Amino acid sequence: MCKSSSIPSEKRLKDRAKVLKKQLGIKQTEALNIVVKEFGYNSWFEYTDASKMHSALALPTPSPSLEFIETGDIPMSNNDYDLYDQERDSKLDKPIKLRVENNKKKLANLGIEFSIFEPTLTGLKKSILDATHAVRSHFELEEFHYYWDQGQGGDHKIMKDGFLLTPEISIPTKASLYRPKTKKGDPRMWFRKLSELAVAGDQVAIIIEDNQVYLINLSSNNLEEIISQKECPIGTFLSTYVVKHTSIANELLDKLKDIAKKPFKAQRKGDTAIGYTIEKLLGIEANSSKQPDYKGIELKSGRGAKTRTTMFAQVADWDNSPCKRSADILNRYGYERGDDFKLYCTISTQRENPQGLSFIYNSDKDELQEWYKKHELVAVWSGELLRKRLKEKHAETFWIEAKSELIDGIEVFKLVNVTHTKSPILSQFLPLLESGVVTMDHLIKRSGKTNKVSEKGPLFKIDKRNLDLLFPKPVVYKLA
């Protein structure tokens, strides 16, 4: 934290707190406490007390002297906010936020796994960053680094090569990954020369490729414009990444285009005729395996029209949940509807539903928790389980469309187009749950006629308008 030589007026501090309250979705008292911490006060109460005392003495309100911690580590938390640009008003914030969101969508649309961190002023001055759960999960998904398997102290520090990417230059860096000896050894990281890429409060994306780390400032760049620019380090990197990770898809697409050059006869009758015939033409033998059909790519078709779409169904981890089955949740929180007893409701992190149920994401435990009235734990899901389920359900897929007609009593197909979808960006699933973009539906019912309990969920859902925050944008290729 920096020592300030002067403090704005109380009215100005309150104005800043109002902006912060809106940005972070917190209470006014919390925002006031954060604002005055920039000037060395522990709370708004401490600041007002000092202000009154110095006013009585006709003295200016001074900032208390501060000493930097010299232990090689400093406390970090989700509340470690540095108001890096207090004078920027909400009108200026909106374009930056929009740019960041558009850049996130662009990375997702390209099928690039990434995580985000926000350097604070304290962190930049101390050369220290908190490795948040989102970052740690990303590192594990990419098999880049495992903090849980790392010892504490400098002897166990891991160094990795990387680059800070700007539109003009690629700056070599070293990533320092470690757990300090202080406290519980909370995961830390640092990237050399980070101050040449970002200032406090910027949103910086981490991308892992070939066991190296690449950083891109999402607050100061427009990826949609940059990616097509020649001799641009960011554009070159993203384009190369996409080409490398789509080689199998391109190989399959070329084969389908070759098949689409002329009509072909069905090799089986019935609903499975198209899929079976295409697989035979691709040289894929029929089997009962659940593995994807072509070198990791699933071949199938499907459509959907509803606004909210179900990604997957997944029951809670009953062994670690207070409620041990769906019937327990129904008995405690359900309601009568006609002859039946139901619990049909949506659960979100943003607010309690009419039944008093809501989600809380515990990042320390990597655990999604369902609570009643914020004081009674109902059920839990591990983050690892949810990411695994999402990955299993949404493999890379080619949705093939073909026209069918009968010629002399024989069914003949003609390929028309293929829609290519990729796996979701797994590192973004829990952050989207935490922000309320992803929700869950309970669909539990006890029949009044049979007294049997049925559970159609829990269904984890996302609004189709937000799919591009999680799934790479589908690409449609014309085959004929």
Q: What is the DSSP string of 107-170?
A: HHHTT---EEE---HHHHHHT-EE--HHHHHHHHHTTS--GGG--SSGGG-EEEEEEEE-SS-E
369 with 380: CB under 8 angstroms?
yes
Output the pLDDT for position 4. Answer: 39
Output the pLDDT for position 55. Answer: 52
Whether the per-residue pLDDT at 82 is higher than 50: the answer is no
Output the pLDDT for position 321. Answer: 94
413 with 266: CB under 8 angstroms?
yes
Average the pLDDT over 259-267 and give the result.
89
Q: How confident is the model at residue 62 (pLDDT cuts 50, 70, 90)?
A: very low
Question: For residue 204, how far is the Cα from the chain centroid?
Answer: 14
Nearest residue to 124 (alpha-carbon basis) of 80, 180, 181: 80
Whether the per-residue pLDDT at 65 is higher than 70: the answer is no
CA gap 233, 245 in Å, rounded: 18
Q: Which residue has the higher pLDDT, 193 or 8?
A: 193
Whether the per-residue pLDDT at 213 is higher than 80: the answer is yes
Average the pLDDT over 53-58 and give the result.
50
Output the pLDDT for position 12. Answer: 67
Q: How confident is the model at residue 209 (pLDDT cuts 50, 70, 90)?
A: very high
Average the pLDDT over 312-333 and give the result.
92
Please state the CATH superfamily assignment of the domain spanning residues 249-480 in this structure. Answer: MvaI/BcnI restriction endonuclease, recognition domain (3.30.70.3570)
Output the pLDDT for position 158. Answer: 94
Average the pLDDT over 286-293 and give the result.
56
Q: Which residue has the higher pLDDT, 4 or 452?
A: 452
Query: Average model confidence (pLDDT) for the chain?
Result: 80
Output the pLDDT for position 279. Answer: 87
Look up tokens 């049979």; give the residue. 450
pTM greater than 0.85: no
Average the pLDDT over 16-42 and give the result.
72
Whether the per-residue pLDDT at 52 is higher than 70: the answer is no
Average the pLDDT over 364-382 and give the result.
93
CA gap 384, 161 in Å, rounded: 27
Local structure of residue 380 (DSSP, 8 states): E
Output the pLDDT for position 344. Answer: 93
123 with 129: CB under 8 angstroms?
yes
Look up tokens 């490398």; give the residue. 244
Q: How confident is the model at residue 350 (pLDDT cuts 50, 70, 90)?
A: very high
Whether the per-residue pLDDT at 298 is higher than 60: the answer is yes
Nearest residue to 85 (alpha-carbon basis) of 33, 22, 40, 38: 38
Output the pLDDT for position 161. Answer: 96
Average the pLDDT over 297-322 and give the result.
72
Share of the chain above pLDDT 90, in %: 36
Average the pLDDT over 363-384 and give the result.
92
Whether the per-residue pLDDT at 60 is higher than 50: the answer is no
Look up tokens 């110095």; give the residue. 54
Q: Which two tokens stand for residue 135?
A: 């970052």
Q: Which of 156-160, 224-228, 253-257 has the lowest mean pLDDT?
A: 224-228
Whether the per-residue pLDDT at 51 is higher than 70: the answer is no
Q: Which residue has the higher pLDDT, 154 or 467?
A: 154
Q: Which residue has the higher pLDDT, 379 or 407?
A: 379
Q: Which residue has the higher pLDDT, 174 or 453?
A: 174
Q: How confident is the model at residue 18 (pLDDT cuts 50, 70, 90)?
A: confident
Output the pLDDT for position 133. Answer: 84
Whether the per-residue pLDDT at 49 is higher than 50: the answer is yes
Q: Which residue has the higher pLDDT, 40 or 95?
A: 95
Whether the per-residue pLDDT at 79 is higher than 60: the answer is no
Whether the per-residue pLDDT at 435 is higher than 70: the answer is yes
The tens digit of pLDDT for each residue in 114-132 reads: 999 999 888 888 899 999 9
Output the pLDDT for position 395. Answer: 66
Nearest residue to 189 (alpha-carbon basis) of 225, 147, 241: 147
The tens digit of pLDDT for each residue in 161-193 reads: 999 999 999 999 999 999 998 777 889 999 999
CA gap 361, 365 in Å, rounded: 9
Whether the per-residue pLDDT at 229 is higher than 50: the answer is yes
Q: How confident is the model at residue 303 (pLDDT cuts 50, 70, 90)?
A: very low
